[in-house]
Each structure stands twice: as structure tokens, then as C-alpha cells.
A and B are shown apart, each in its own frame.
Chain A
């Protein structure tokens, strides 16, 4: 298995632009997570999907952030409009949801908003 695949690996964009991050979870996994990592705040859970349905989006910082999971093999995290404070590493992770199983992480997208 190729693991969780995220694209792009790096993204540099200007303030105000729309940014879309993509994730392909591990085949067969029914849980998907989007995390944000910064030096100041560490790892933060943004949103959690189970069977393609958003279960908990309480970590989404504001309305500028949105996430979708149209099918079991694809998810997007969109920021519109982007701001410099959105600069961070964004991780996607998936798990099979069974009791006690760990989450498998993608390699992350480093987003820089200038």
C-alpha cells in the first residue's frame, strides 16, 4: 500500500488566494483526519470524517476553512481567502476506525502564505 498520499508537498501562495490541499487515504480506511501543525500550537485536529461524513469540525478555525470528502478515496481542505497566519504544515491521516488502531499520516503539505 502506498500509504496516505497528500498533494502538494509544498505550496506558496499570496494572501487572499484560494488554496486547496488534497488527500488520498489508505484503501479500506473509513476514518480520515485533517491536522494542522505549527510551532506555537503543535498538532491540532481540524476535522474528522467517518465513512465520508464530517463528524467533528469543531477544530476548523473559521469559515475560511472548509473540507470535503466526496468519496472514500479522496478529501480536500480548502482555505479561501488565505492569510499569512494560515502558514503551517497540514497533515491528512486515516485509520480503519477499529478499536485501538492508530492513525497513519501522510507526509504533509507545507503551506506558506505571503
Chain B
């Protein structure tokens, strides 16, 4: 069975600086998808970025980028130029390409932005 591990329960960063959130996963599959979701205090889960395992190029979305290391089964999220609005819980999630529904979730990392 697949598992997702986020080893950092909480991280803090100074506003405008860069922070990296860690995520590792375990799977025997070769084709899958990885996601980072953000959950601000408003509670809604918002997709931040998505990575297809068959793509070697790391996904980027504005200030958000990932470092996808398939062999190491690592999928970290880098947030550049941190803003106060980035403060939230961040969840890493895995989905097999063979299944169109089952998301496997990490426990989450609480990101604190210091003004």
C-alpha cells in the first residue's frame, strides 16, 4: 500500500524568504500523480501544484515549485518570496494513475509566516 510522509509538523519562515516543505512517499508503482494542497484558516483545500510521475521536469506555479526526485521518492515544495497569505496547512497527496479517485494524504505541515 502507498504511504505519504510529511516529517515536518510545523515550519516557520520570514516574510519574503524561501521555505521548503518535505514530502516522501512509498509506492511500487511507476505511474502516479503527486499533489500539494493548501488549507488556510478558512478551511478550504486548495490545489497548489501537481506533478505527473512520468514527467522529469519539475512543476512550477508562480512562486511555488517542486523538487521531484522519483528514485528517492521525494516531492518537496519550495515557496519563494513567502507572503503572509501563504500561512496555512500544506498537505502532500499521492494518487495512482491506475485509480481515478483514491488520494493518499500526508499528515500535513503547518507553515507560519513571520512578518
**Chain B positions within 8 Å of A45 at CB level:** 101-103
Taking a contact as CB atoms under 8 Å apart, the answer to whether B101 and A33 are in contact is: yes
Number of B residues whose C-beta is below 8 Å from A?
19
**A-B contact number at CB 8 A:** 47
CA distance A104 to B37 in the complex (A): 10
- B100 within 8 Å of A (CB atoms): yes
Nearest chain B residue, comparing its CB with the CB of A104: B47
Interface residues of A in 92-109 (CB under 8 A from B): 93, 95, 97-100, 102-108
**Chain B positions within 8 Å of A55 at CB level:** 101
- B52 within 8 Å of A (CB atoms): yes
Nearest CB of B to A3, in Å: 9
If A42-B107, A43-B91, A100-B50 touch, whether A107 touches B101 (CB-CB below 8 Å) is no
Nearest CB of B to A27, in Å: 18
Taking a contact as CB atoms under 8 Å apart, the answer to whether B103 and A97 are in contact is: no
Interface residues of B in 79-115 (CB under 8 A from A): 91, 97, 100-103, 105, 107-108
Of A31, A42, A95, A97, the residue contacting B105 (CB under 8 A) is: A42
**Chain B positions within 8 Å of A107 at CB level:** 42-44
Given contacts A105-B44, A106-B44, 4 further A-B contacts (CB under 8 A): A45-B102, A48-B101, A95-B101, A105-B45
**Chain B positions within 8 Å of A89 at CB level:** 43
Taking a contact as CB atoms under 8 Å apart, the answer to whether B97 and A100 are in contact is: yes
CB within 8 Å of A: which residues of B? Answer: 33, 35, 42-47, 50, 52, 91, 97, 100-103, 105, 107-108
Number of A residues whose C-beta is below 8 Å from B?
25
Taking a contact as CB atoms under 8 Å apart, the answer to whether A102 and B50 are in contact is: yes
- A50 within 8 Å of B (CB atoms): yes
**Chain B positions within 8 Å of A97 at CB level:** 100
